[in-house]
Chains A and B, each alone.
Chain A
């Protein structure tokens, strides 16, 4: 059922109109008469002689990229050290096999100068992205530097639409969450992006420990999801623990049985979405 309480940013627009509501306490204290009385100026470095390319999100549709290249880097990469024409590319990232990213070029522009910055419009909101700077020659893009990845989500990549409820950390569910984190969260930390269920399952295959309860539920999961069941079991159990439901195994088993029934009637075997559940 559509949640009628929720309004997105786009839906609600700017709901207030106070010019001082710009998100900062200091706006209340500013005076137009304010003048800085210090006459001196401060010298700051024009450059740092460090090869750098950084991409930062600005909003849902825009990213910012800055770079600094050294002549040494150009020479190391067998380019003319006085080269000043480069190409900046931005890639949208999706995770492929073997923990490698598939890169889809979503933006490119020609730039000049060893030091520079650009803003780039990217239509997809907060998708994982990276930038690269290089030299294009004879249709080949020779990469000089690549940025770190940004906008690497965690939970949202699972594509979940269903509600999950829990008690958070520090409220009695700490142990469950800690266990979960120690066992598998390092594999899918925000720094290692996941973008599909298969990748999660593959990583979950690395988990060795299974309790009796978990093994007991393996049968149900296998019936539900076939050969990949053991992997999915691990994922599902860990996820349930993360939600703080580990103390209520009976209801989990009951729920899995319900899912099994649903899967049998709707033919959802193999679906990568976690099915709906009723809140008790």
Chain B
């Protein structure tokens, strides 16, 4: 008999970064690293599970900016070039280490792995990660949900309700365009919730979303089963909340699995370790060292002296940790059972990039967990909708405003460092709404002025959406990539106002517009009327 349910959720998101004006752009590598080290290895493990006849369940939120980048031909071309350079580097490494039997093993491991990933991407996936997601979505084993259109921090955008609606409307539209179906669930950007947001989500057919534990536990009335059963909002949407215990087991740097001495050390990368003359072609052309993804050491312990990485030992450690994780879930379910009238549901949301990029062995861990759960049949992995079919009766709770950022509320996205952003975002949203109302009835004919105005207003919407990305405010708070985040925010504010000025004065710089349409090309089919109040 099933003693409980497990709902694993991986949130996949990156901000829209595309710089065709540069041959090499450091921040574009966020995407390449995430695809190469996380998204593809995860899909490869899912294929392995499928091959082994494991009927797994996994939920993934794939944010619209990420979807748009994964579908972008220009970025895909760069990604293939990125893989080829890594393969070339790994070949050079085998040659460099040919007399070092200990390290040669690891170098050969990387070479083979890189070839395998590239073959999987260009062969099985036909050059698109989205094809992999679609495949498992069609088998029903992977539930793909959406996110805010550009990951806007919705509680701080609500001064203009249309801009919140546009984030949701475009997200569902983008999801439909790329996955062929409307999303039933959403990962709220930064899990940020405010009172009344559920009403907007419902309007766009969203049935469920996820919150941090305190979003539910601080709700009214307090939930009888805490986070171990979903609740309904006043508008009838389902809210799933994070189980803190499963998070701690994976996340904690002190007691979490990724800190095990056998696992690969994240920081010891040859991009930093080797002579600049040798590594220069594989790091930033301006001479800045970067992570290459080739790392030869294991964590070893709290010491500067690191031992060589052993991929086989690490693989078997993931099996041990997976068994521990599953057995902890069985004990957890048993402990919760006396206080519940149904088997408990344990919701485990993680950033996808934890698995593979940060915790190199993470995809193997997940593979072993899903395999073990299938073997033991004590805890059943489920998707949200599957769980609701089994347990449709749930408590009604009004969730508390919350987020999954530090301290649990909005501070990370609104503080001394980034508060300057919001007056601009609010002005732009109000201006966008006004323009959308004004031009709502503009005929869709082919006349040049109409076509030009339409393109200008649509691009204004894109610039607004890109400026709204919560990533910029987050990075400013983190004091990492601050310059980039500040400039990106200012770039979109500036672009928006330049376009607005051109529209108002009938003096549109068409070259500028064309460039923006190519560079900030998110949401090709966007229609500015989503901002209209009509």
Residues of A within 8 A of B (CB): 3-9, 12, 15-38, 41-45, 48, 50, 52, 54, 56-60, 62, 64, 66, 68, 117, 126, 148, 151-156, 160-174, 177, 181, 189-191, 242-243
Contact A165 B234 (CB under 8 A): no
Contact B484 A36 (CB under 8 A): yes
In the bound complex, how far is the Cα of B484 from the Cα of A168, in angstroms?
Answer: 43
Contact B351 A24 (CB under 8 A): yes
- CB neighbours (8 Å) of A20 from chain B are 253, 354, 358
Contact A29 B353 (CB under 8 A): yes
What residue of chain A has the Cβ atom nearest to residue B208's Cβ?
A168
Q: Which of A6, A28, A173 contacts B236 (CB 8 A)?
A: A173
Q: Is the CB of B213 closer than 8 A to any CB of chain A?
A: yes
Known contacts A19-B253, A42-B487, A165-B394, A30 near B218 by CB under 8 Å = no
- CB neighbours (8 Å) of B252 from chain A are 16-18
Interface string of B376-396 (1 = CB under 8 A from A): 000000000000100011111
Q: Select the residue from B235, B288, B358 with max chain A CB neighbours within 10 A.
A: B235
What residue of chain B has the Cβ atom nearest to residue A48's Cβ?
B427
Contact A34 B481 (CB under 8 A): yes
- CB neighbours (8 Å) of B223 from chain A are 3, 5-6
Interface string of B13-46 (1 = CB under 8 A from A): 1110000001001110110011000000000000
Q: Is the CB of B478 closer than 8 A to any CB of chain A?
A: yes
Q: Is the CB of B57 closer than 8 A to any CB of chain A?
A: no
- CB neighbours (8 Å) of B247 from chain A are 15-16, 21
Q: Is the CB of B408 closer than 8 A to any CB of chain A?
A: yes
Contact A23 B403 (CB under 8 A): yes
- CB neighbours (8 Å) of A154 from chain B are 195-196, 234, 398
Q: How far is the CB of B426 from chain A (nearest CB, A)?
A: 6
Known contacts A5-B225, A45-B497, A126 near B400 by CB under 8 Å = yes
In the bound complex, how far is the Cα of B160 from the Cα of A148, in angstroms?
Answer: 10
Q: Is the CB of B228 closer than 8 A to any CB of chain A?
A: yes
- CB neighbours (8 Å) of A117 from chain B are 419
Q: Is the CB of B232 closer than 8 A to any CB of chain A?
A: yes
**Within residues 457 to 515 of chain B, which ones have a CB less than 8 A from any CB in chain A?**
470-471, 474-475, 478, 480-481, 483-484, 487, 490-491, 493-494, 497
Q: Which of A5, A17, A24, A56 contacts B336 (CB 8 A)?
A: A5
Q: Is the CB of B295 closer than 8 A to any CB of chain A?
A: no
Known contacts A5-B228, A126-B400, A54 near B351 by CB under 8 Å = no
- CB neighbours (8 Å) of A3 from chain B are 222-226
Q: Select the residue from B218, B288, B480 with max chain A CB neighbours within 10 A.
A: B218
- CB neighbours (8 Å) of B156 from chain A are 56
**Within residues 389 to 436 of chain B, which ones have a CB less than 8 A from any CB in chain A?**
392-396, 398, 400-412, 414-415, 419, 422-424, 426-427, 430
Contact A166 B232 (CB under 8 A): yes
Contact B422 A56 (CB under 8 A): yes
In the bound complex, how far is the Cα of B22 from the Cα of A126, in angstroms?
Answer: 46
Contact B214 A8 (CB under 8 A): yes
In the bound complex, how far is the Cα of B11 from the Cα of A44, in angstroms?
Answer: 33
Q: Select the residue from A12, A44, A60 with max chain B CB neighbours within 10 A.
A: A44
Contact A4 B13 (CB under 8 A): no
Sorted nearest first, the 5 A-B pairs with minimum C-beta distance are A190-B196, A169-B236, A9-B214, A155-B398, A5-B226
Contact A44 B236 (CB under 8 A): no
- CB neighbours (8 Å) of B321 from chain A are none
Q: Is the CB of B289 closer than 8 A to any CB of chain A?
A: yes
Contact A4 B195 (CB under 8 A): no
In the bound complex, how far is the Cα of B229 from the Cα of A165, in angstroms?
Answer: 12
Q: Is the CB of B291 closer than 8 A to any CB of chain A?
A: yes
Interface string of B231-265 (1 = CB under 8 A from A): 01011111000001001100111101000000000
Q: Is the CB of B207 closer than 8 A to any CB of chain A?
A: yes
Contact B487 A38 (CB under 8 A): yes
Known: A59-B410, A64-B414, A161-B221. 11 other contacts (CB 8 A): A5-B223, A22-B474, A44-B424, A54-B423, A60-B409, A152-B195, A156-B220, A166-B393, A166-B396, A168-B392, A171-B388
Q: Select the residue from A22, A28, A154 with max chain B CB neighbours within 10 A.
A: A28
What residue of chain A has the Cβ atom nearest to residue B218's Cβ?
A8
- CB neighbours (8 Å) of A5 from chain B are 223-226, 228, 336, 339-340
- CB neighbours (8 Å) of A25 from chain B are 11-14, 34, 351-353
Q: Select the residue from B13, B27, B195, B357 with max chain A CB neighbours within 10 A.
A: B195
Q: How far is the CB of B122 from chain A (nearest CB, A)?
A: 23
What residue of chain B has the Cβ atom nearest to residue A164's Cβ?
B396
- CB neighbours (8 Å) of B73 from chain A are none
- CB neighbours (8 Å) of A151 from chain B are 195, 401
Contact B30 A29 (CB under 8 A): yes
Instruction: Report 14 cross-chain contacts, Cβ distance below 8 Å, ordered by A residue.
Output: A4-B339, A5-B228, A7-B217, A18-B253, A28-B354, A29-B353, A33-B290, A52-B427, A56-B410, A58-B409, A66-B422, A154-B196, A166-B232, A172-B392
